[in-house]
Amino acid sequence: MGHRTIFGLEIHDENKTSIEPHITWRINSGTCLFWWDNWLGEGPLAHHCDHINSLNNTTVSHFLLNGQWNETMIRQRVPPPLVPRILSNSLHLQEGVPDEAFWTANDSSVFSCSSAWNLIRKKKGKSIINTWLWHKHIPFKMSFFLWRAIRRKLPTNERIINFRAEPANCSCCSRPGLDDIDHILVNGNFASFIWNFFATSVGIPHNQNTLRNLLTTWWGTEHRNVVQKQFLHSLPIITCWNLWKNRCSAKYGGKKSSIIRVKFLIQKDIIMLLHIAFPYLQWPEDWHDLINYMEACKHEITITQVNWKTPPTDIFKLNTDGSAMNNPGKIGGGGILRDHQGNMIYAFSIPLGIGSNNLAETLAAQQGIYWCVQHGFKKIILEVDSKLLNNWISYKSKPPWQIQQHIRELIRLARQLEFFECRHIFREAYNTADFLAKGSHNSDIIRQYYTHHQLPTVAKGSYLLERMGVSNFRRKKIKRIKQPP
């Protein structure tokens, strides 16, 4: 196959084995490869056979007949244990629509370079170092340099020692040291001086001996606000980069190693980065003013008044909510159906097994709509506090692949109604559904309520308040930073 382009990324043969298992395919018209694409969810079928060579480009459509699986042909070609798996894979064919690939290495089925990158370099699990190395405001060259430094992939003693007997001396210090990565970037005389200056200014000790320890110390330090977080995140990367530039210009460029220059360049890089990340703040030029300014930064808070509103006459309003103990973990859902006077018609609280928060939101809505359909409530406004769920139902964005079938089922149910609309609403406006969802964790079975007298106490209280139209207040710390005084 050589290489193929999926999600705009060329997948070469050497990386194929690490990337392709994380791509699953949805069959629309059968354009993906029958033997080599993971459309069944079990990896390529070719891995289960020994007679399929890598140049076999037979597509799935080849195995279809009149919109169904061509059973005779499948039985002839596919190993028997796989036949029922294929035949039970229900088809939703769409003429002319190419099959779609889904990226399953991260939660959203949207492909991202960093998740692909993670796979190519065969990293299992996410360490703080790998997650923090890459950041949109940090120039790629800096992150990439540090990535190589951590892996000892720089032309220092660690590399050349294999070829030459004598390790080279460093170019950074006046007192002789060795041209090693930890010396240049962490514990050499020159590097220690630089680190001490910056570490002291923010109250972090500089007593680390290796690059990894140094990074984990800085990146593990607590921050008060996103500005400090960004600062603690970027300073080690920028500092290492400048220490390295200094070493290289001293070693190859005929420049003298200079503490003043390196300090100046680090400060300049940091200030530039803060300007880019927070362009609306007035950044002081002086280093110590800058540190104090960052301490004083606070997040802005917005307060919104929210309340639950009755639906128009003849229309019923269904509020549902999901709850997850951990994400992912034990999940449950709750919901309440009310008429145009705010009177309760039905409410439920349902445990939903193990899964993600998004799954809980989806299944809770599904349960609510299902009940409405079954009991003849045909005009429904569904209100949920999950923006995502609202977007998925209204086709504004694509659900993650794990949830797709549930969303499809939800939409199928909603189509049986005469009127259906999905709205997003802040959770503060409908505490009742929230309480019912949380209550699901105390039970192994669904609980259903038909009058408000049956509701659990907290849910009943909040139901009565909502019926009276009492407002709630939503306080939200937002990402935007207030200009410090």
Residues in contact with Zn ion by the rule CB under 5 A? 170, 172-173, 177, 188
Name the residue among 233, 307, 240, 227 with its Cα closest to residue 275: 227
Specify the 3-state DSSP secondary structure of 415.
coil
Residue number, 190 or 218, with CB nearest to Zn ion: 190
Q: How far apart are CA 39 and CA 220, in angstroms?
A: 41
Q: CB 207 → Zn ion: shortest distance, Å?
A: 18
**DSSP one-letter string for 249-306:** HHHTS-PPP-HHHHHHHHHHHHHHHHHHH-TTS---SSHHHHHHHHHH-EEEEEEEEE
Least distance from C-beta 179 to Zn ion, angstroms? 8
Task: Tell me the closest approach of the beta carbon of residue 143 to Zn ion, in angstroms.
Answer: 24
Q: From the CB of 168, what's the least distance to Zn ion, in Å?
A: 11
- How far, in Å, CA of 161 to CA of 465, rounded? 75
Nearest of 361, 369, 342, 377 to residue 427 by alpha carbon: 361
* Residue 186 or 380 with smaller CB distance to Zn ion: 186
| Min CB(239)–Zn ion separation in Å | 15
**Cβ neighbours of residue 470 closer than 8 Å, sequence gap 6 or more:** 307
**Where do the H-state alpha helices sit in 377-430?**
387-393, 404-414
Q: How far is the CB of 215 from Zn ion (least distance, A)?
A: 20
Structure tokens at 219: 């990146």
Q: What is the C-alpha separation between 428 and 308, in angstroms, rounded?
A: 9
In whole angstroms, how large is the CA radius of gyration of the chain?
A: 30
Asked if 232 contacts 202 with a C-beta cutoff of 8 angstroms, the reply is yes
Q: Choose between 191 and 199: whose C-beta lies nearer to Zn ion.
A: 191
The distance of closest approach from Cβ of residue 33 to Zn ion in the complex, given in angstroms and rounded to an integer, is: 55
Grouping H, G, I as helix, E, B as strand and the rest as coil, residue 371 is helix
Closest CB to Zn ion among 145 and 392? 145
Among residues 44 and 177, whose Cβ is nearest to Zn ion?
Answer: 177
C-beta of residue 323 within 8 angstroms of C-beta of residue 440: yes
Nearer residue to Zn ion within complex by CB, 157 or 472: 157
Measured from the CB atom, the residue of 178 and 464 that comes closer to Zn ion is: 178
- Nearer residue to Zn ion within complex by CB, 259 or 272: 259
If the CB atoms of residues 172 and 410 are measured against Zn ion, the closer one turns out to be: 172
Q: Closest approach of Cβ 390 to Zn ion, in Å?
A: 58
Q: What is the bridge-based pairing of β-strands 298-306 and 472-482?
A: antiparallel
Give 66's DSSP letter: T
Q: How far is the CB of 147 from Zn ion (least distance, A)?
A: 22
| Residue in the structure block whose two tokens are 């506090």 | 385
